Amino acid sequence: MDALVRRLYPLCRSITGDGVRQTLAVIDDLIPLTVHEVPTGTQVLDWTVPKEWNIRDAYVADATGRRVIDFRESNLHVVGYSVPVRTTMPLAELREHLHTLPDQPDLVPYRTSYYQPTWGFCLAQNVLDALPDGDYEVVVDSTLADGSLTYGEHVVRGQVDQEVIVSCHVCHPSLANDNLAGVAVAVQLARSLVNPYYTYRFIFAPGTIGAITWLARNAAVVEQVRHGLVLACAGDPGPLTYKRSRRGDAEIDRVLAHVLRDRPHEMRDFSPYGYDERQYCSPGYNLGVGSLTRTPYAGYPEYHTSGDNPDFVSPEAMVDTLAVCREAFAVLDRNRTFVNLSPYGEPQLGRRGLYDSLGGRSDAKDAQLAMLWVLNLSDGWHSLLDIAERAGLPFTAVVAAADALRAADLLKEA
């Protein structure tokens, strides 16, 4: 995952353009993608696919020709979607197009202007303070023309057609935690799925307009979506944060609460601000899609700055995020509702060898309790997750109990 973050980091991504295509091509080396191109001007819900933006070079040079701001050093130096410029102007005029972070004078900010034609440069405040008055050559060698919006999908077919979606935005340039760590975790998660119960669809799309485009083009798929997770900010050193779906009590919300209960974490209620969960949870769709991050949106000083580089991302943090995702999906895949086939009184477990099978196990007491709880609450209404929550037992213990009871013909699936 760390190697993938570092490989993707130099690419200049935006909501459209070759940087997105190059990013998807790298991902396709690891998991096969179906890549979609949606032409400029296409109506997608209340939006229209914009013109495609590509950039070859950009710089500000002083009177000696020295580049004092250079796109080749970092793609953050250019405001995303800057229109072409080739001119000379005094510093006083140029300042109107320069963006800095006075409170973080060593860092370069990330800025965009997708839907307002303009141009600009980003630089460290310390660099700006050192620029002498005089004329500067300003060049933005970019194109803004009819083209397309690009997104990719990877589907892991399950035993049923009902789907779990995992969504990552691929529109940010050199920002390692937001968004590349989420991409890296999603790729590794996709590679780890073997014969899942649900079908898992991984969506790699530009933020906002990409998710809206996917929703507009996939009405039939949306009908099959049962659960979903938006992954972002997956590699910073902070504890995990889960933001509930708009429903607040969707199964994915309960699963993440269960999986995270013994880890340092924060649970947040839904708000229509943040990442693409706000598109999947818009009232017309109201899908059971939550958001998993470590430190949330705009919650760390390096957010949307040059400080969000590969060294800021921790491989250990990405491994931890991945582990939670895998555990959560394991719960989703195994969460079923059963009916007790011997509901009048407690069935005799000893003569079926169920107590004997627990002998010598360090978790024998939990396993025995799990059997009793599963038998008592398997009434066709309570799922295994319901039982685990009510009993205060690990989901894995409840699943193991259900498997044993089913093998002994004491349970059937509702």
The one-letter code for the residue type at 217 is R
Residues 6 or more apart whose Cβ sits within 8 Å of residue 87: 137, 138
**Block residue for tokens 């009916």:** 339
227 marked ligand binding residue = no
Residues 6 or more apart whose Cβ sits within 8 Å of residue 130: none
Residues 6 or more apart whose Cβ sits within 8 Å of residue 29: none
133 marked ligand binding residue = no
Residue 367 C-alpha from the chain's centroid: 35
Closest of 172, 280, 281 to residue 232, by C-alpha: 172
* C-alpha dist (Å) from residue 198 to 195, 227, 228, 408: 9, 10, 11, 26
Long-range contacts of 391-398 (CB under 8 A, 24+ apart): 393/366, 393/369, 394/366, 395/258, 395/259, 395/331, 395/334, 395/335, 397/363, 397/366, 397/367, 397/370, 398/370, 398/373, 398/374
Give the Cα separation of 90 and 68 in Å (integer). 14
CB 91 within 8 A of CB 134: yes
* C-alpha dist (Å) from residue 281 to 33, 171, 212: 25, 20, 11
304 marked ligand binding residue = yes
Q: What are phi and psi of 243, to 5 degrees?
A: -105, 120
Q: Which helix (H) or strand (E) holds 53?
A: strand 52-61
> Helix or strand or coil: residue 99?
strand
The one-letter code for the residue type at 347 is P
CB-based burial label for 41 (10 Å; 0-12, 13-18, 19+): exposed
**Can you point out the beta strands (E) in 232-356?**
240-243, 265-268, 289-293, 337-340
Helices and strands of the chain, counted as H and E runs: 13, 19
Q: Which residue positions form the known binding site for Zn(2+)?
A: 172, 178, 304
Q: Which residue positions form the known binding site?
A: 172, 178, 304
